[in-house]
Structure 1
Amino acid sequence: MTDLLYRWPEAAKFGKRVPKEKFYEHGTVSTAVREKFITEVQRITWAYKLAETTINLPGTSAVPEVQVFTIDSKTDDVSEAVLSAIDKAIPFPIIFEVTRSLTERPGVRMVAAHKQIGAGTPKLSAYYSTGWQPGDVTRQPLPTAITLATLYAALLQPLTPLAARPGEEMSEVADRLAAVRKLEREVASLERKLRAEPQLNRKVELRRTLKTKQHELTELVE
């Protein structure tokens, strides 16, 4: 994870406020998530629209445009459930900037999930995020790219805890990270069981399984 913020192109500025109620119109938003919108979100702004018409990079069927949404928080953060509800309602990949100004530690963080669009509900990976940074931090120029798809991958890559392997697509990085997190949970569970197991033969079996899982985890991370 890299702590950075991008300097979004002025030509891509959209600056349209989106009422929270717009996302309630989608039947998949539960009462619990609606409550999170009410208690956590001060304002949602469709801040920038990265498209061929604004930044002169051609889109693809997978990434026709990339949107940048700013969410001003009422509290110290915004739940992933809120981000997911917005992501599922907008048929384009989204980069979020979450800001907090009403707490003792004001700041901003960039957060996004890898989003695969198609027929039906978009497929979302886990959410990746920078740490909290001062609002006046020096912003970096956008990564060099020749299409919106390569730009999207380059925007996401610094947020993920895994580096892309040569020739690896961002969707494959997302799948590999999901597998890593699943294995990490399995390894932690096996370690707890091993510490608590009183029988020697069972300890030997658990230790063998743990070693196999740790090897699989190393293979995925490297």
Structure 2
Amino acid sequence: MSDILYKWPTGARFGARVPKEKFYEYGWVSSAVREKFVSDVQRITWTHKLAEETINLTGTTAVPEIEIFEIDSKADDVADAVLTAIDKAVPNPIIFEISRERTGRREVRMVAAHKTRGARTPMVNGYYSTRWMPADAERSALPTAISLPALYAELLAPLTPIDVRPGEEVSDVAERLEVVRRLQREVAGLERKIRSEPQLNRKMELRRMLKMKQAELEEQK
């Protein structure tokens, strides 16, 4: 988890308010998720469009442009289920900025998932986020990139627990993140078993398995 916010280009400003109700039209938005929209979301603004005509980087079928959505929360945060509903409704990749009022000051965090286009709806993996930061914190310039897919990978890199490898496509990063999440679950499960296992021989075998999984995990990072 990093401490970074990006300074979005002025020329890419879009500034369109998006009604929450617009997302209720989609069949995958359950009544429970609608309730989350109502309880969590004050306002949704489509603030920027990073595209060839706005930042002069070439897009592809997978990443034709990158959208920046700002969500003002009613309470402490916005549920991932809300972000998923928005992500599935918008085909292009989205970087979210969620803001909240906390002890008299405005805070913001950047959050996104590796997202790939599917046959009908986009495929959205788990979400990664920065820490909460003051809304007036200094922002960083966009990473240097030669295309929109490369920029998308670079924007997400500080959020994820893996390093983007040279020439790696967004879909490759998403697949590797899935492997990392699976290995992290397996490592956590083995650690729990080791703590509760009374037999020494079995505990030693579990530790051997744990070291193997930890080594696999490091290779993926």
Asked if 1:210 is matched to 2:210, the reply is yes
- Show CA shifts across 1:168-217 (max 9, x none): 32332232222222222212221222222223343333233223222222
Amino acid at match of 2:114: H
2:29 corresponds to which residue? Answer: 29
8 Å contact 1:126–1:174 — kept in the other structure? no
5+ unaligned residues in a row in structure 1: which ranges? none
How many angstroms does 1:103 deviate by? 5.2
Aligned pairs, number:
221
1:63-142 superposed matches below 5 A: 63-101=63-101, 106-142=106-142
Amino acid at match of 2:210: L
Stretches of 4+ moved more than 6 A in 1?
none
Q: Give the secondary-structure state (helix, strand or coil) at the position aligned to 1:146.
A: coil
Amino acid at match of 2:142: L
8 Å contact 1:164–1:170 — kept in the other structure? no
Q: Percent identity?
A: 67
8 Å contact 1:76–1:103 — kept in the other structure? no
C-alpha RMSD of the superposition: 1.7
Q: Give the structure-1-normalised TM-score.
A: 0.92
5+ unaligned residues in a row in structure 2: which ranges? none
Q: Give the structure-2-normalised TM-score.
A: 0.92
1:13-28 superposed matches below 5 A: 13-28=13-28
Amino acid at match of 2:127: Y
**Cα distance in structure 1, aligned partners of 2:197 and 2:159:** 38
8 Å contact 2:5–2:110 — kept in the other structure? yes
Q: Give the secondary-structure state (helix, strand or coil) at the position aligned to 1:140.
A: coil
How many angstroms does 1:4 deviate by? 1.4
**Cα distance in structure 2, aligned partners of 1:191 and 1:32:** 34
